[in-house]
Structure 1
């Protein structure tokens, strides 16, 4: 492993370990039952035992280990060397997102943010939306592999289909990201409609990418 590559993994691993250690510090101060889920309106709609915070705080480190081994076990792992910058940026963004997400419970319990706050869905939806927009700009550069990208059976079977699928996937991802940001900013106006609209945006985007991939493979899209 090259020195730069090794430094990257060690830096992200250290960040994840510091995050986990910080959660351990606050753990004894948490009540036995804590909020674990918030609806689109910002209202708490689920509670759980406090040990769930340790699961959430350990998730970034667990995901990092998975990301480390994916290129090594992927039959087309060489493709990751050609998109190393994109792969590293994806890992950084994903790790930071889940680290931030892991602190929502403590922030609520200790009064750093109100227990029923619209800040939480706004933060999550806008962050995921920005992430989808960024991903959409990078997707067309993803080379054919079995682990990262839009892995439809038709895209995996044909490289031309893979390229076309990821170009369309990039456009679709950007539209999905914009839709999530709008839902986050307009949650007060949308209210009960926010959840079904989000479902349509996310599910519709995924279904369209799969349908488009099939149509390209079948020769229906020129």
Structure 2
């Protein structure tokens, strides 16, 4: 039984993308021809590009929900999406809000409006996103788009469920540590953040492999 597009479509998902487009059209005439396109750990611009690149964020805000609405129809595990539909919506919503806030911060930097100190932007935003995703991760069922995906869990529902549960714990712990990384010296902060993010990604994968090895030994 197929999954219809309307089953995962919610008009609220268009609010932030449309708002981003409206904001971009309003500020477009006032944008300088060259804008910052990348920022270092201190929130200082370290790369620039033509102002047309400002459209990257509105485009991403439209493409993300489009991808996540189409995926349940083409994923070989499409039937499982109904089992975690609410969590799926949370994942999309959290990611959209993250992108929109980052876009707002960049516009603030361009026009000299400080919403949040750039030194704390990455650890705070990333930490909050990890906490939100970690809370819904245990509810994710087998699919090819979201969650911790390993070759050992795709054909083993028990391995998948335990891996997502463990991944959820890891994301929540790392989310808290990312928030606390605001207090790390600037010279170390980038390394700390990257180590924490890689830890959150690698630990669940290692756990999935251990579950697989344990099951193999029991055969």
TM-score (normalizing by structure 1): 0.88
Instruction: Provide the residue aligned with 1:158 in structure 2.
Output: 156
Could you tell me which runs of 5 or more consecutive residues in structure 2 were left unpaired when the two chains were aligned: none
The CA deviation at 1:27 is 1.2
1:88 equivalenced with 2:89 (yes/no): yes
Q: Does 1:139 align with 2:134?
A: no
Distance in 2, Cα, partners of 1:2 & 1:202: 33
Deviations 1:150-181 (A, max 9, x none): 11110112111111111111111111111211
Equivalent residue number for residue 72 of structure 1 = 73
User: What aligned pairs does 1:102-181 form with structure 2 within 5 A after superposition?
Assistant: 102-113=103-114, 119-181=117-179
Cα-to-partner distance string for 1:103-125 (whole Å, 9 max, x where unaligned): 223211212128xxx71342332
Which residue is 1:11 aligned to?
A: 12
When residues 121 and 71 of structure 1 are mapped into structure 2, their CA distance, relative to the original with a 3 A threshold, is farther
Residue of structure 1 equivalent to 2:23: 22
Secondary structure, counterpart of 1:46 in structure 2: strand
SS of the residue corresponding to residue 154 of structure 1 reads coil
Report the Cα offset of residue 4 of structure 1.
8.2
**Which 4+ residue blocks in structure 1 deviate beyond 2 angstroms?**
1-6
Does the 8 Å CA contact 2:68/2:92 hold for their aligned counterparts?
A: yes
Distance in 2, matches of 1:121 and 1:149, equals 29
Change (3 A) 1:3 1:52: closer
> Distance in 1 between the 2:141 and 2:6 partners?
24
SS of 1:148 mapped into structure 2 = coil
1:4/1:29 CA distance change after superposition, 3 Å? same
Partner in structure 2 of residue 62 of structure 1 = 63
Distance 1:58 1:170, change over 3 A: same
For this pair of structures, how many residues does the alignment match? Answer: 214
Is the contact between residue 24 and residue 54 of structure 1 (CA under 8 Å) also seen in structure 2?
no
Q: Deviations for 1:70-125, whole angstroms, at most 9, x for unmatched residues?
A: 111111111111111111111111112111211223211212128xxx71342332
Once the two structures are superposed, the pairs formed by residues 174-213 of structure 1 within 5 Å of their partners are: 174-183=172-181, 185-186=182-183, 189-213=184-208
In structure 2, C-alpha distance between the alignment counterparts of 1:138 and 1:71, rounded to whole Å: 18
Q: What whole-Å deviation, never above 9, does each CA across 1:37-76 have from its counterpart, x for those lacking one?
A: 2211222211111111011222111111111111111111
Structure 1 alignment gaps of length 5 or more: none
Q: Deviations over 1:161-209 (max 9, x none)?
A: 11111111111111111121111x31xx511111111121111222222
| Partner of residue 32, structure 1 | 33
